[in-house]
Amino acid sequence: MAAEGGGHSPIEQFAIKVVQPLKLFGYDASITNATLFMLLAVALIVGFFFVATRNPGRVPGRLQGAAEAIYEFIASTVRDNLDDGKDGRKYLPLVFSLFMFVLVANMLGMIPGFFTVTSHIIVTAALALLVISVVIIGGFMRHGIGFLKLFAPSGVPGWLMPILIPIEVISFVSRPISLSVRLFANMLAGHIALKIFAGFVGALLGAAGIAKLMAPLPLALTTALTALEFLVAFLQAYVFAVLTCVYLSDAVHGAH
Amino acid sequence: MDPVVGKYIGAGLACLGMAGAGIGLGNLFGQFLSGALRNPSAADSQRGTLLLGFALTEALGIFSLLVALLLLFVV
């Protein structure tokens, strides 16, 4: 295929390579490139906030200002979507960590040659399962068995319940699926599309005659796509955080 | 019929799903623009909602693109 210029498949970039084989209690716990980039993401986040908040001043410096801007951005998102008045605020650390991890992992993936951990569904599924577990556990801890009223909206005639309850249950169960697939699909499709259009440049340059002159066209498109991917990388992290807030508001508010 | 042919036909069919995302995105930005032109002072505060809707809608188109790409390069 023309897109696979030089025999490289566009999905080669997602291959997981074992860096350091490791057996732990009979399980395969090898250090892979995915592990390394997740650790790098966490190290970058922790390092940045450690340095930025080391000497907090009343008048914030540049780094402290950046850290405060990020914090305020997520805090206002949580305020708007999760209701600040009651218990909502105790979920802020969770939402903040999820947002920062997804954002930094997405952005690291945009550096050419770097590995995108969020393009693997196992990573996003683990994050989504964490969110939904917190919703279920937090909901039962706050409302007890009354949390189940979430599946039976009030003010609905009784004969409608046999239809409505399965629908509500299905919509609840599909939440972690859609949450994880949305992030993973965006990252995977975006990076494949970038590779394919970049492959067109090489294929056209290798072509004979007048076709060589067309090579700048896919190059321009690749540049535009890269800009779009940066937007998508940020937006998907933001969407992940907002949807986490929306789902958590079920745990905080209970039945609607 | 060669199974490879079916793979490519399937990839082409999967891309039809992006038409829905296209309609959705057109609706989204068109409605935002008409609302924003009626009341420009309220437009700025709704830009976050616009981007959220953009990301949610675009993700659905990405799903079908993903099916097409997986058919082409993975299956």
ipTM for the predicted complex comes to 0.78
Question: Exposed, middle or buried by CB within 10 Å (0-12, 13-18, 19+), for A154?
Answer: exposed
List the helix and strand counts (H, then E) for chain A: 6, 4
The tokens for A79 are 């305020």
pLDDT at residue A33 tops 90: no
Cβ-proximal residues to B65 (8 Å cutoff; 6+ apart), any chain: A189, A193, B14, B15, B18
Q: Choose from A232, A244, A246 for mutation: most chain B CBs within 10 A.
A: A232
Decide if B73 and A192 are in contact by the 8 Å CB cutoff. yes
pTM: 0.85
For residue B14, give how far its alpha carbon lies from the nearest alpha carbon of chain A (Å). Answer: 13
pLDDT bucket at A3, cuts 50 / 70 / 90: very low
Cβ-proximal residues to A188 (8 Å cutoff; 6+ apart), any chain: A14, A119, B66, B69
The tokens for A204 are 């056209």
Report the pLDDT value the prediction gives residue A45, as an integer from 0 to 100.
94
The rounded distance, in Å, linking the Cα atoms of A239 and A81 is 12
For residue B53, give how far its alpha carbon lies from the nearest alpha carbon of chain A (Å). Answer: 9
pLDDT at residue A79 tops 90: no
| Pairwise pLDDT comparison (A48 vs A147), residue with the higher score | A48
Say if B8 is an interface residue toward chain A (CB within 8 Å).
Answer: no
For residue A184, give how far its alpha carbon lies from the nearest alpha carbon of chain B (Å). Answer: 10
The rounded distance, in Å, linking the Cα atoms of A183 and A7 is 28
Question: Exposed, middle or buried by CB within 10 Å (0-12, 13-18, 19+), for A182?
Answer: buried
Residue of A nearest to B66 (CA): A189
Decide if A238 and B52 are in contact by the 8 Å CB cutoff. yes
Rounded mean pLDDT, A31-54: 90
What are residue A24's phi and psi, to 5 degrees? -130, 115
pLDDT at residue A4 tops 50: no
pLDDT at residue A47 tops 90: yes
Residue of B nearest to A14 (CA): B74
pLDDT bucket at B9, cuts 50 / 70 / 90: very high
pLDDT bucket at A256, cuts 50 / 70 / 90: low
Decide if B55 and A11 are in contact by the 8 Å CB cutoff. no
Question: Exposed, middle or buried by CB within 10 Å (0-12, 13-18, 19+), for A242?
Answer: buried
- Among the residue ranges A101-105, A150-154, A221-225, the one predicted with the least confidence is A150-154
Decide if B65 and A182 are in contact by the 8 Å CB cutoff. no
pLDDT bucket at A251, cuts 50 / 70 / 90: confident
Decide if B54 and A181 are in contact by the 8 Å CB cutoff. no
| Pairwise pLDDT comparison (A236 vs A2), residue with the higher score | A236
Element (H, E) at A96: helix A92-109
Rounded mean pLDDT, A141-162: 82
Report the pLDDT value the prediction gives residue A21, as an integer from 0 to 100.
76
For residue A128, give how far its alpha carbon lies from the nearest alpha carbon of chain B (Å). Answer: 16
| Pairwise pLDDT comparison (A13 vs A125), residue with the higher score | A125
Decide if A11 and B73 are in contact by the 8 Å CB cutoff. yes
Report the pLDDT value the prediction gives residue A38, as an integer from 0 to 100.
92
Within chain B, where are the H helices? 3-15, 17-38, 40-43, 47-73
**Cα A147 to Cα A66, A81, A170, B59, distances in angstroms:** 39, 19, 16, 30
Residue of B nearest to A182 (CA): B59
**Cα A192 to Cα A187, A203, B48, distances in angstroms:** 9, 16, 28
Task: Output the average pLDDT for chain A.
Answer: 85
Rounded mean pLDDT, B52-65: 87
pLDDT at residue B33 tops 90: yes
pLDDT bucket at A8, cuts 50 / 70 / 90: low
- Residue A15: what residue type? A
Decide if B62 and A239 are in contact by the 8 Å CB cutoff. no
Q: What separation, in Å, do the N-terminal and C-terminal C-alpha atoms of chain A show?
A: 53
pLDDT bucket at A84, cuts 50 / 70 / 90: low
pLDDT at residue A173 tops 70: yes
User: How does strand A23-24 pair with strand A31-32?
Assistant: unpaired
Q: Which of A89, A103, A126 is nearest to A245 (CA)?
A: A89
pLDDT bucket at A106, cuts 50 / 70 / 90: very high
Highest mean pLDDT among A16-20, A58-62, A117-121: A117-121
Rounded mean pLDDT, A211-232: 89
pLDDT bucket at A18, cuts 50 / 70 / 90: confident
pLDDT bucket at A2, cuts 50 / 70 / 90: very low
Q: Which of A185, A232, A239 is nearest residue B66 as measured by Cβ atoms?
A: A185
Rounded mean pLDDT, B57-71: 87
pLDDT at residue A85 tops 70: no
Say if A232 is an interface residue toward chain B (CB within 8 Å).
Answer: yes
The radius of gyration of chain A from alpha carbons, rounded to an integer in Å, stands at 23
For residue A236, give how far its alpha carbon lies from the nearest alpha carbon of chain B (Å). Answer: 7
Which residues in chain B are closer than 8 Å to A193, comparing Cβ atoms? 65, 69
Say if B1 is an interface residue toward chain A (CB within 8 Å).
Answer: no
